[in-house]
Amino acid sequence: MTAKRARPGPRSARQRERLIAAGYRAMVRSGLEGARTRDIAGEAGITVATLHYYFPTKDDLVRAVLEHTIQEQMLAPLRLDADWDDGLAALETMITGLARHADAEPGHYRLLNEMTWAAREDATLRAMLAVWHEGWHGAIGDWLRAAQRDGRVRSDLDTGAVATMIIYLVLGMVTRPPLPAGAEDRLSEELHRLLAAFEPKD
Amino acid sequence: MTAKRARPGPRSARQRERLIAAGYRAMVRSGLEGARTRDIAGEAGITVATLHYYFPTKDDLVRAVLEHTIQEQMLAPLRLDADWDDGLAALETMITGLARHADAEPGHYRLLNEMTWAAREDATLRAMLAVWHEGWHGAIGDWLRAAQRDGRVRSDLDTGAVATMIIYLVLGMVTRPPLPAGAEDRLSEELHRLLAAFEPKD
DNA sequence: CACGTTTTCTATCACTTGATAGAAAAGTAG
DNA sequence: CTACTTTTCTATCAAGTGATAGAAAACGTG
């Protein structure tokens, strides 16, 4: 017996990509549930019916968009490849870069956020996110250990635990909560002070 | 000319509260948009029509629920009053308490999260959140300064900037992202190490 | 009880939204 | 051109969903 699968035609890969791109934009604009299939189709230059020819249900499209988001849109802002030689600089680049990006593209981080909540009830999504977080956690740990070897970060720190703290810090930061003015100004500087290998003169 | 306002009857304050409580539960369960007015009314033991007698639009109800959430449900888990004498202990109590609470009641923090995003386009909501964040930020700063006076926290730290970091850290933590197993185990311990007044023997 | 007010319900609307059926159009091969 | 496949469109459905009108019930007061 044939599985209750979608019709098997090869489809146009180009149209698929166009729909995923339009879906990403719509979800960044209106959120995961707020994005309307009609808008997405319209933005891709087709009708809803044709959208459903490529993605039988909205959930299929959402899945494809989130997968695309993780693989294409999420790694870039992290700058995991930046300045590998200088771990502290890489850390700073990542944090300030993300803060700026979160101001410019808040919808992107709202999408990441909705994804995290959705992952609680979706094993596939959770697995994808876990892989991504693992890579991120590992990269930050590597940066910290490199800086420890250079004597620029306290050698007694548990780099894994600190990496976790930094990830939490960044995840909270990109939600851009309404903190008192200037609360973020000395953040990066202060993080460096906390991690620094030697006590300042005081 | 009379303003286009709802009918002026006094209403029952008890029913209002019952609706807000039911709304809070429904939104914790299904999210801000996912909560259905029919479900909320049913949970309060009335029909949708009666709900609209108390809250002309769903948005009015949402507003009331969020206001209630900030004032009643949000301050409690922070334990801002805990162990005021010992700032570091208060900090630890807050962080571990929030981690546990976030595991037990994730929906509460999803609601807080949706609120933060909604506040971007709603000045009233943003103002309410800002007041709450300001109090939180101030309390953490007070704890840190108290611990500095006791000589248990490095005196060279900018307590405001560190308070911001801790708030970001907590906001990220309560989203419970799928980090590698055990990533959070030594978090609190490591935070203490970072803040500690003296370098360990190494 | 009688009368006015407040509260609640039944029934229904108006509209959105994801989804589908079936025809038409576009592409492909001989 | 013809026959077949792939893609797209028009038109429409079915299930919600917030909201309302208007009658009925409950309440309060003398």
**pLDDT at residue B6 tops 60:** no
3-state secondary structure B87-122: HHHHHHHHHHHHHHHHHHCHHHHHHHHHHHHHHCCC
Q: What is the pLDDT of residue A2?
A: 31
% chain A with pLDDT above 90? 79
CATH (residue range B11-65)? 1.10.10.60
Residues 6+ apart with CB under 8 A from A14: none
Closest CA in chain A for residue B164: A183
The rounded distance, in Å, linking the Cα atoms of B67 and A78 is 35
Chain A contact present for B169, CB below 8 A: yes
Residue A175 CB neighbour total at 10 angstroms: 21
Residues 6+ apart with CB under 8 A from A30: A36, A39
Q: What is the pLDDT of residue A40?
A: 98
Give ranges for CATH 1.10.357 in chain B: 79-202
Nearest chain A CA: its distance from B201 CA (Å): 9
Q: What is the pLDDT of residue B73?
A: 84
**pLDDT at residue A3 tops 90:** no
Q: What is the pLDDT of residue B72?
A: 85
Are residues A19 and A61 in contact, defined by beta-carbon separation less than 8 angstroms? yes
Are residues B161 and A186 in contact, defined by beta-carbon separation less than 8 angstroms? yes
CATH class of A12-64: mainly alpha
Q: What is the pLDDT of residue A47?
A: 97
- Using the beta-carbon criterion (under 8 Å), do B133 and A178 form an inter-chain contact? yes
Q: What is the pLDDT of residue A10?
A: 67
* Rg of chain A in Å (alpha carbons): 21
Are residues A133 and B177 in contact, defined by beta-carbon separation less than 8 angstroms? yes
Closest CA in chain A for residue B202: A156
State residue B79 phi and psi, 5-degree precision: 55, 45
**pLDDT at residue A145 tops 90:** yes
Mean pLDDT of all residues in B105-133? 95
Are residues B177 and A172 in contact, defined by beta-carbon separation less than 8 angstroms? no
Give ranges for CATH 1.10.10.60 in chain B: 11-65
Q: Smallest Cβ distance to B117: which of A110, A170, A171?
A: A110
Q: Smallest Cβ distance to B129: which of A126, A177, A183?
A: A177
CATH architecture of B79-202: Orthogonal Bundle (1.10)
Q: What is the pLDDT of residue A122?
A: 92
Q: What is the pLDDT of residue B200?
A: 47
Highest mean pLDDT among B17-26, B85-94, B146-155: B17-26
Interval B53-100: pLDDT, tens: 999 999 999 999 999 999 888 877 777 776 678 889 999 999 999 999
Q: What is the pLDDT of residue B125?
A: 93
Q: Look at residues A195, A64, A123, A165 and name the one whose alpha carbon lies nearest to residue B185.
A: A165
Interval A82-121: pLDDT, tens: 667 888 999 999 999 999 999 999 999 999 999 999 999 9
* pLDDT-based confidence at residue B17 (cuts at 50, 70, 90): very high
Interval A6-41: pLDDT, tens: 445 567 789 999 999 999 999 999 999 999 999 999
Q: What is the pLDDT of residue A108?
A: 96
Q: What is the pLDDT of residue B71?
A: 85
% chain B with pLDDT above 90? 79
The rounded distance, in Å, linking the Cα atoms of B187 and B41 is 42
Mean pLDDT of all residues in B156-185? 96
Interval A150-191: pLDDT, tens: 999 999 999 999 999 999 999 999 999 999 999 999 999 999
Are residues B90 and B82 in contact, defined by beta-carbon separation less than 8 angstroms? yes
Higher confidence at residue B77 or residue B187? B187
Kindly report the bases of strand C lying within 7 A of a protein C-beta atom. 5-11, 16-22
Q: What is the pLDDT of residue A62?
A: 97
Give ranges for CATH 1.10.10.60 in chain A: 12-64
Q: What is the pLDDT of residue B75?
A: 77
The rounded distance, in Å, linking the Cα atoms of A157 and A151 is 12
Mean pLDDT of all residues in B7-21? 81
Are residues A164 and B187 in contact, defined by beta-carbon separation less than 8 angstroms? yes
- Using the beta-carbon criterion (under 8 Å), do A157 and B116 form an inter-chain contact? no
The rounded distance, in Å, linking the Cα atoms of B158 and A190 is 7
Q: What is the pLDDT of residue A171?
A: 98
